[in-house]
Amino acid sequence: MSQATPRSNEPLIHHWMPFTPNRQFLEAPRMLARAEGVHYWNSAGEKLLDGISGLYTTPAGHGRREIREAVAKQMEELDFAPPFQFGVPGSFRLAHELTRILPAPLSRVFFAGSGSEAVETALKIAINYHRARGQGQRQRLIGRARGYHGVNFAGWSVGGMVKNREAFGLGLPGVAHLRHTHIPENRHVIGQGPHGGLDLADDLQRLIDLHGADTIAACIVEPIAGSTGILVPPVDYLQRLRSICDKYGILLIFDEVICGFGRTGHPFAAQAFGVTPDIMTMAKAITNGNIPMAAVAVREEIQQAIFDVAGPDAIEFFHGYTYSAHPVACAAALATLKLYRDEDLFARAAAMAPGFLARIADLAHLPCVIDTRGYGLLGAADLAPGASPGARGFAVMRRCFDQGLVLRVTGDTVIFSPMFITSEDQLDAMFTILRRVLETI
């Protein structure tokens, strides 16, 4: 018999929550009612530490007055304007500001409303680019096992997280996947593992040999695979992907929705690893999580190729969203970028990283921890499975919440992604709670 939806919390049953066991939640709701700095408060007024920066979204801390005031001012001046055929000043300023921190030569920016929308946009740009250059047969997309590229149809098709795929049919045709990079030889390595990088990247060459390079439009990867559990690329992995893409005219797309905006100690992971993609997606921390927004950055020649085949007064790219470059989101993003710059938050993240990663590595001494890994201010610990897959991880998340810590789990993997303003004492408090829970789980 299926588990019935609880009826005792009647006012709560109308909201169908995302990526949540809804029936369990209704039995014991975990409500976050207020936030400031590195803390949440639950509905009972109890204070909790935020160990995951919202959802990788809020590295500058909750409740930033500078963003709030910028949003309020924009709402008073212009609350909405149609993004098709009309522009708003903030979107052009924001695109220019982004080019100051993007890796060269990414210099053209298209705005969207979420990471999922950014991925859809990037994949459509890639296919359109090849068509504009007379290579319309290049329609195949290459993703990676355990990759996460949002939940829209193209995104989960190139993604490789099984539960995100299995209930929704076959996905897009013409998609193939590289192997993931989580291999036993690199277990308990903090930073880039020394093993397997070239062989794993050569999966792309093997797919080229199988399908033909002239059928492949793009290869999309997260530089650090985030949602699946912080999989750091092995040494030389991203460099080899770049080399193969260059050899065969395949566009390389980096999904930096999670690891962009300072999470690696650099503006983007592309700069941290010294590999520049042709197209890059970003979202989450672009507004410090205050207003939904995303962007796609491309090389100028990609935009120009698409423009060149359109008539002088024709729409060049038949794509966009009602909320592309929303004026309020642009105001939030501009205020956020100013905060990052004025408070030197990317450098602060880089300075925090060694101590944070040492704390992640120290979890390896706990009996229930079977792997640890991390890079920058992204860290994860795999737990030995419990009675069923994911049961131990879920129990850890619930107990940490009860003891004053908000963190993320995926399956039996615990994920940390602290804010760039987190103090050493606050990091100590977070890991003290986690260790106490892991020692009793």
Residue 425's domain comprises 31-60+344-438
Instruction: Specify whether 168 is located in the same domain as 190.
Output: yes
Let me know if residue 331 belongs to a domain: yes
Cβ atoms of residues 426 and 406 within 8 Å:
no
**pLDDT tens digits for 361-391?**
999 999 999 999 999 999 999 999 999 999 9
Q: What is the mean pLDDT of residues 94-123?
A: 98
Instruction: Specify whether 350 is located in the same domain as 337.
Output: no
Query: Domain holding 407: CATH number?
Result: 3.90.1150.10
Let me know if residue 26 belongs to a domain: no
**pLDDT tens digits for 177-200?**
999 999 999 999 999 999 999 999
Instruction: Specify whether 299 is located in the same domain as 428.
Output: no
Q: Which amino acid is at 61?
A: G
DSSP 98-135: HHTTSPTTEEEEEEESSHHHHHHHHHHHHHHHHHHTT-
* pLDDT number for residue 1: 35
Helices (H), 9-87: 22-27, 53-56, 65-77
Q: Which of 342, 359, 391 is the last residue of a domain?
A: 342
Let me know if residue 15 belongs to a domain: no
- Count of domains in the chain? 2
* pLDDT number for residue 10: 77
Query: Domain holding 72: CATH number?
Result: 3.40.640.10
Let me know if residue 100 belongs to a domain: yes
Instruction: Specify whether 163 is located in the same domain as 310.
Output: yes
Let me know if residue 80 belongs to a domain: yes
Query: Could you tell me if residue 261 is left (phi over 0), alpha (psi between -120 and 50 degrees) or otherwise beta?
Result: left
Percent of the chain whose pLDDT exceeds 90:
97
Average pLDDT, the chain: 97
Q: What is the mean pLDDT of residues 55-76?
A: 98
Instruction: Specify whether 52 is located in the same domain as 80.
Output: no
Q: What is the mean pLDDT of residues 399-406?
A: 98
Task: Report the relative pairing of strands 408-410 and 413-416 from DSSP bridges.
Answer: antiparallel
* Residue 318 CB coordination number (10 Å): 9
